[in-house]
Amino acid sequence: MNAATDQRGQVGVETLIVFIAMILVAAIAATMMITTVSSLQSTAETSSQDSQDQVTNQLLILSATGRVDTSTAEPRIDRVQLSVMPAPGASEIDLSGASVEYIGSNGVRNYSYEAAYGDSFEVIATADPDGTAPVLTSRDDRYTIAFDLDAGDRDTTLATGESATLRIVGASGAETTWIVTAPHSLDRADDGDVVEL
C-alpha cells in the first residue's frame, strides 16, 4: 500500500513540474506576442503619419518667373523664382529641409537650401506675418524659392521655347511638380527683366 502511494505521489510531482513548465512557456510566448504587436502598432502609426504628411503637406505653386540674361548670343533664362504657399490642410512645411530637382534639356541639377557645397536655392519671404521663414506656418505665408541656372561651372539656362521640369520634395516626402517654359518673347526683353514662365 505504501509503495502504491509513493508511486502516485511521484507521478503527481512530475505532472506538476510539467504543468509549471507549460505555464512558463505560455507566459514567455504571450510576452513576446504583446511586445511584437506593440512594435507593429507603433510602426504602423508612424507609417500612417508619414503617408498622411506626404499627402497633406503639399506646396501650392502660385506662379513661376524667370530672369532674362541677354549677355549671350541668344537671350536665356538664368534664374527661376517660384512663388509658393502651403496647400489647404497642410501643417508646417520647413523649406530648409526641402530639395528642388531641375530636369532640363541641358541636364539635371539638385538644389538644397543654402547648401555649403553644390547648388543651393534661397527662400525669400514675400508675406510672412509671423516671421517664421523658411517655415511655412499658415495660409497667409507667401515665399519665393529662387535658384540660378548658371551657378558654378554648369550652364543649364533655358533658351527661347525650352522647357524644364521642377520637382520639389519636402522634408516629409511630399512632392510638387511644375513645368516651366521660356517664352518666345525673350528676344524683346532687356537684360534683367523678369518674365512669366
Domain ranges of the chain: 1-56, 57-196
| pLDDT at residue number 2 | 54
> Quick one: CATH architecture of 57-196?
Sandwich (2.60)
Per-residue pLDDT of the chain (197 residues; tens, 9 = 90+): 555 555 555 566 777 778 788 888 888 888 888 888 777 777 656 555 444 444 567 899 999 999 999 998 899 999 999 999 999 888 899 999 999 999 998 889 999 998 777 899 999 999 999 999 999 999 999 999 999 999 888 889 999 999 999 999 998 889 999 999 999 989 899 999 999 99
What would the pLDDT profile of 28-61 be if each residue is shown by its tens digit?
A: 888 888 888 777 777 656 555 444 444 567 899 9
| pLDDT at residue number 106 | 87
Identify whether the C-beta of residue 68 lies closer than 8 Å to the C-beta of residue 186. Answer: yes
DSSP lists the bridge partners of residue 195 as 66
| pLDDT at residue number 68 | 96
The reported pTM is 0.72
Give the C-alpha separation, 62 to 81, whole Å: 11
| pLDDT at residue number 151 | 84
